[in-house]
Amino acid sequence: MGGKREMNDSVVKEAGADKNKRSDKRGWSLVWTVFLAILVGLLAASFAKLLLISINFTETFIHQGLLFNFDGSPLMDLAKTEGIENAKLRPFNVVVMVIFGLIVGCMTYYLMPNRANRGLSHVIEDVHFNQGHTGVKEGLAVGAISAVSIGAGASVGRFGPAVHLGAAAASGLGSIFKMSKRERATLSCAGIAAAISASFLSPIAAIIFVQEVVLRQWKIHQFIPIATAAVVAKELAFVLDVHFVIPVPPMPNDVQLFELKYFALVGLLAGGLAIAFNRALPAATAFVAKHLKVDNRIKPAIGALILAAMGFYYPSILGLGGYETQLAVAGGIAISLCVILLALKFFATVASFSFGFNGGIFGPSLFMGAMLGSAVGLILQESGADITSISLYALAGMGAMVAGVTGAVMSAIIVMIEMTDGVATARPLIFAVTFAYVVIYLASENSLLVRQLRSRGKNPWGKKN
């Protein structure tokens, strides 16, 4: 009996020792991952800066003057002196757009895997099906093609390519240091969060975005490196001046109770618009691929001509549209122009992706949301309604539209609060985003990202999501 007890005690001690060894190994693995996450944060912010420099360089060939280059002057003064209605494209602009379109087509054909563009949904696919491996060359190619696409006037955003670069940087570090599959996937998520944080100076929203959109789960061994990368990227991005700024005029700290129904209306409209956009973009892409029987290297040039026709009298729908988004928040755009720019931006974005340009959807979503919210606020104001601020309606529209397109409900609210550095926007945002999601939920719709994943048979959350 004594021998059996001694043998059992020995087995228990060995099991405890093995458990401690595994715990120590996991602990050191987490420490090492956090250290690499710091490097990922630095690289993601640096790549975001290089992307912005590249975009500014290509934009100088087309987007010249105050209309597209916000120089820090008061937005309302610019609106009065350089009214965006007075601008129009020149023949030189159209020629350069077509040339840049040809360059985009050739770059996509020779540099991209399968000779097709890749976006945020592909990065999510890499996290779940490829152990977080996003090729460094692929990431650099996405950044370069997106910069030229924006220079060609494509209605796309810069934040999606920044995420791709962040994920590629993380994947490269994971390969260099021979990290495990689980560690590399975590590091890829850290790169995504770092790029978002650098773009908006919003580390909390970046962390939540990864958890609710990319992973759809919360685990401590993933959360800590992701949070570390987001914070580091935010600090460096501030120094490098990478982030997108929304100047918000002074607003009351609270809104009146009766006004919340107006923000609910903004959410309902944004939800309907998001559903239309999420359906139109894949449908148009499939239609062009099926019926336009030309070499894919030429398609972006054809798309450039279509974009030039759309934006000839309203060139502010081309490119990033950051200035116009800022102007809408400042209440500097008339109702009729808000509606025109909203409609044109919708179709220009769909056309840009359908004809082979590359970029993100976050920027166009912000633009459309700002125009929608601003239009609602202006209509209410002119009808005699006592509203708090046009800016609140524009911001509510932005948050609701981003939530509807990307499925990032919580992070859409948080990112707008962090970007505007104030809690006055919290209640309007919550109402707008909530009602936008109610529309989407009742219509049994999915975000654009889930639609794209499902179309490739790579939806990691099953058929119902």
Q: The domain that contains 358 carries what CATH number?
A: 1.10.3080.10
- Domain endpoint, select from 212, 240, 268: 240
Structure confidence at residue 387 (pLDDT) = 87
Last residue of a domain, one of 182, 212, 240: 240
Question: Taking a C-beta distance cutoff of 8 angstroms, is the pair 203, 227 a contact?
Answer: yes
Same domain, yes or no: 118 and 148: yes
Supply the pLDDT for residue 249: 72
Domain co-membership, 27 together with 122 = yes
- Contacts within 8 Å (CB) and 24+ apart, 375-382: 375/335, 375/338, 375/339, 375/342, 376/262, 376/265, 376/266, 376/269, 377/262, 377/331, 378/331, 378/334, 378/335, 378/338, 379/335, 380/262, 382/335
- Domain assignment of residue 270, yes or no: yes
| Predicted pLDDT at 91 | 86
192 and 226 together in one domain: yes
| Res 258: pLDDT | 85
Question: Which residues are CB-neighbours of 444 under 8 A, at least 6 positions away?
Answer: none
150 and 272 share a domain? no
- Structural domain of 181: 2-240
306 shares a domain with 209: no
Distance CA 364, CA 348 (A): 10
Domain boundary among 215, 240, 265: 240
**Angular region, 233: left φ>0, alpha ψ -120 to 50, beta rest:** alpha
SS3 119: coil
Q: Does 412 fall in a domain? A: yes
Q: What is the DSSP letter of 118?
A: -
Q: Could you give the number of structural domains in the chain?
A: 2
pLDDT in tens, the chain (465 residues): 555 555 555 544 554 444 444 444 555 577 889 999 999 999 999 999 999 999 888 877 665 543 343 333 334 444 444 444 456 788 888 998 999 999 999 999 999 988 888 999 999 999 999 988 999 999 999 999 999 999 899 999 999 999 999 999 999 999 999 888 889 999 999 999 999 999 998 999 999 999 999 998 888 888 999 999 999 999 999 999 987 777 777 766 677 888 899 999 999 999 999 999 999 999 999 999 999 989 999 999 999 999 999 998 898 899 888 888 988 988 889 999 999 999 999 999 999 999 999 999 999 999 999 999 999 999 999 998 888 889 899 999 999 999 999 999 999 999 988 887 767 778 889 999 999 999 998 988 889 999 999 999 999 987 656
Would you state the pLDDT for residue 8?
Answer: 54
Q: Is residue 289 exposed (0-12), middle (13-18) or buried (19+ Cβ within 10 Å)?
A: middle
Q: Do both 234 and 274 map to the same domain?
A: no
Among residues 373, 361, 43, 307, the alpha carbon closest in space to that of 154 is found at: 307
> Do 222 and 278 sit in the same domain of this protein?
no
